Every structure is written in structure tokens, then in C-alpha cells.
């Protein structure tokens, strides 16, 4: 079962968070310190998103629905 995937943050969520951060910083309404914090957080999220993208091996599994239906 690909349970592990449920614990990972969703890629879309990460990208959405990054976009929000970028927009907030671009709005010019944040102070410099907040901007820098946002930048650090954005960089961290980008790294996380990239790690998901760069997963090298695709997991392909077969599922028997009769067995899994318990």
C-alpha cells in the first residue's frame, strides 16, 4: 500500500504555499525581517517540492481490490 505518500506534504500545497510567500513578499507590505523569513521558508519549501519532483524511481504496484476491501 502506498501509505507513505499520505504523510508527505502534497506537491500542490507546497507550490501554493511558495506562491503565497512570493506574492506576500512582492506586495512590499512585509518588513525586511519578515521578507527574509519568508524567503528562507520559501527556499525550504522549494527544496521540499524539488525533492518530490526528483524522486527517481516510480513506484508501480498492483492492487487486488478483493483483498483490500476488508
Partner 1 sequence: MSRKDRTPSDSRPRGLSNSADKPYTVSQLSAKIETAIKDSFPTKVRVIAEISSVTNRTHYYFTLKDENATISAVLFASAARKQSSPPEHGQKVIASGKLEYYAPSGRLSLIVDKLEPVGVGDLEQRYKALCDDLRARGWFDPLTKQPLPIFPRSIAIITSATGAALQDVLDTAAKRCPAVNMLIIDARVQGEQAKGQIENAINKLSEQHSKLGIDAIILTRGGGSLEDLWAFNEPVVAKAIHECAIPIVAAIGHETDTTIAELVADERAATPTQAAMKLIPDRAALSEQLHALTCRLSREISTQLTHEEARLNRLVTSGPLANPQRLIDPQRTRLDTLKIQIHSVIRHIQSAKAGEIDTLAIRLSKHQPAAVQAQRQEHIHALHQRLTRSMHTRLRSMSASLDAAQRELNAIGPRQVLGRGYSLTTTKTGSVVRSTKDLKSGDSLTTHLSDGTVTSVIDGKKVTERTKPKKAPPQPSLFNHKEGQD
By the criterion CB under 8 A, which residues form the site for partner 1?
A: 1-3, 5-6, 8, 10-12, 15, 18-19, 21-22, 25-26, 28, 32, 35-36, 39, 42-43, 46, 49-50, 52-63, 65, 68-69
Least Cβ distance, residue 46 to partner 1 (angstroms)? 5
Cα separation, 54 vs 41, in Å, equals: 20
**Furthest C-alpha separation in the chain:** 57
Q: Which of 26, 53, 52 is nearest to 39 (CA)?
A: 26
Least Cβ distance, residue 25 to partner 1 (angstroms)? 5
Say how many Å lie between the first and final Cα of the chain, rounded: 14
Least Cβ distance, residue 67 to partner 1 (angstroms)? 11
Amino acid at each position: 500500500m502506498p501509505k507513505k505518500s499520505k504523510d508527505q506534504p502534497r506537491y500542490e500545497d507546497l507550490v501554493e504555499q511558495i506562491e503565497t510567500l512570493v506574492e506576500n513578499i512582492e506586495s512590499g507590505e512585509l518588513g525586511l525581517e519578515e521578507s527574509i523569513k519568508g524567503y528562507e521558508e520559501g527556499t525550504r519549501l522549494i527544496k521540499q517540492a524539488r525533492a518530490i519532483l526528483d524522486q527517481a524511481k516510480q513506484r508501480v504496484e498492483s492492487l487486488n481490490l478483493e483483498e483490500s476491501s476488508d
